[in-house]
Amino acid sequence: MPHTDSYTRFVNKPLGKKLAKTVGLPQPVPLRRHNKGDRLISGPILVVGDSPAADAIAKQLWADDYDVRRDPGLKQPFAGIILALDDVSHPADLSDRVLEVGTALRGLQSNGRVITILRDPQDATAATDASLMAARHGIEGFTRSLAKEMRRGATTNGIVLAEGVEMSAPSAQAALRFLLSGRSAYVAGQFITVSSAAGSLPADWDQPLADKVIIVTGAARGIGEAISETLARDGATVIGVDMPSAGEALTAVMNRVNGIAVQLDITDHNAGNRLLALAEERFGRLDGIVHNAGITRDKLLANMDAGRWDSLIGVNISAPLRINDQLLAALGQGVVVENFRITSLSSTSGIAGNRGQTNYAVAKAGVIGMTQALAARLAPTEGSINAVAPGFIETAMTDAMPTATREVARRMNSLQQGGRPIDVAETIAFLHADAAAGINGTTLRVCGQSMVGK
């Protein structure tokens, strides 16, 4: 069977579990993933801290009928722990709260969630206050380290609030829901930065993309297929794009999601304009694009040839840059909506570098640069552009790796397993919702806290 992790299956059977424990081998567990209609989390949620953010979170979760506790009590089996540290101004002020969490962690359920809330260490107004900056950076270090102490599918992540942004901001609420839920199964040790109070809450959290028309490139298989399915599940109409050679597979996916199949090479110099014309003709609107199509042409630089280099750059970065130019030329002029959303696939290889992938790293780091540069252009009308950087994802690509290399790559993260295309797709869907408008110009890793990278 393709894309399966037989080791994880083995160590979750009685004999395998015993053996792994005795010999000290990795013990990955099946991750909790979202199904339509699921509650965010089941079990008590502890909210630690007494800042306005802590109160707002507790109130919001109470209102949604969650079992919220403000005190760890004795040996509670918590499903989630939220640690509000947004009011901390000196590293020495952390101890009471983090030690309280330490006690509560002993009973954290499998696939549990720990979420820290902090103020932005990049905030210019805090830049000269040494204690404050030490505290904020310290909380980042704390969050990353705690994420590495998690076991049994549990994760720790942080929500970073920019100056003046409160937990009531739509994107802060959406980030909290995303991180508590099974949608963030493979997001670990990461931060979601909410830079503004832009955006609006959906009428139905199960249909956050209702009425939206979104282009997905490379939609015929792998991660693009999962993105198409997830966007459609959340209410969007998908325009799926792929090479003519993948036409049959593309049609099958688009039939399944009730989308439109477009056979088009994205390196076509007129690709953006052609997609724009199609969106106008069929729907009269375009709400976003997911730049997912990508190729690898690995070689050490010493053995690299122009064919490999140029084809990769052409598909993975020149095409998204050109398509963005063509679509954004029409921003807010009828078809391309004002709050247009762009997401693009980067990679941990673009962040950390990878042997044999100088061309791929140029493109995937380039995606991060493109994202940062266009954020300011989209912000004034509540649009956004973000990048998603997957780590090891179980696909045909990773299935083709030599067994030993694949097994090592799979375990080199805090969750000790590979992610699935759906994990990347959930993150993309989260970023396309109206509620996420305040998250702009960021790169979010979906990598199980891979040891690769910073």
Residues annotated as catalytic (active site), given as ranges = 360
* 8-state DSSP, 413: B
Q: How far apart are CA 147 and CA 364, in angstroms?
A: 25
Asked if 218 touches ligand NAD (CB under 6 A), the answer is yes
Q: Which is nearer to ligand NAD, 387 or 436 (CB)?
A: 387
- Of the residues 94, 197, 243, 330, which one makes contact with ligand NAD according to CB under 6 A: 243
Give me 250's structure tokens: 């593309």
- Binding mask of the shown chain, residues 301 to 320, with x at each position contacting ligand NAD by CB under 6 A: --------------x-----
Q: Which is nearer to ligand NAD, 60 or 267 (CB)?
A: 267
Q: How far is the CB of 319 from ligand NAD (least distance, A)?
A: 7
- Of the residues 130, 373, 396, 408, which one makes contact with ligand NAD according to CB under 6 A: 396
Asked if 292 touches ligand NAD (CB under 6 A), the answer is yes
Asked if 146 touches ligand NAD (CB under 6 A), the answer is no
Strand order in the sheet with 155-161: 68-69, 45-48, 80-84, 113-119, 155-161, 191-194
Helix orientation angle between 421-432 and 170-180, rounded to the nearest 10 degrees: 160
Asked if 272 touches ligand NAD (CB under 6 A), the answer is no
Q: How far apart are CA 17 and CA 33, in angstroms?
A: 22
Q: How far apart are CA 375 and CA 96, in angstroms?
A: 38
Q: What angle do CA 249, 368, 449 make, to 5 degrees?
A: 80
- Of the residues 293, 317, 387, 437, which one makes contact with ligand NAD according to CB under 6 A: 293
Q: How far is the CB of 245 from ligand NAD (least distance, A)?
A: 7
Give me 393's structure tokens: 């994802």
Q: How far apart are CA 121 and CA 140, in angstroms?
A: 9
- Of the residues 266, 286, 327, 342, which one makes contact with ligand NAD according to CB under 6 A: 266
- Binding mask of the shown chain, residues 170 to 209, with x at each position contacting ligand NAD by CB under 6 A: ----------------------------------------
Q: What angle do CA 320, 372, 377 make, to 5 degrees?
A: 85
**How buried is residue 405: exposed, middle or buried, by Cβ count under 10 Å (0-12/13-18/19+)?**
exposed
Amino acid at 308: R
Q: Which stretch binds ligand NAD (CB under 6 A): 23-31, 90-98, 114-122, 219-227?
A: 219-227
Q: How far is the CB of 397 from ligand NAD (least distance, A)?
A: 4
The number of residues that bind ligand NAD (CB under 6 A) is: 28
Asked if 397 touches ligand NAD (CB under 6 A), the answer is yes
Q: How far is the CB of 386 from ligand NAD (least distance, A)?
A: 15
- DSSP of 249-281, one letter per residue? HHHHHHHHHT-EEEE--TTSTTHHHHHHHHHHH
- Of the residues 38, 129, 265, 298, which one makes contact with ligand NAD according to CB under 6 A: 265
Q: How far is the CB of 410 from ligand NAD (least distance, A)?
A: 10
* 8-state DSSP, 98: H
Q: Which residues bind ligand NAD (CB under 6 A)?
A: 217-218, 220-224, 241-243, 246, 265-267, 292-295, 315, 345, 347, 390, 392-393, 395-398
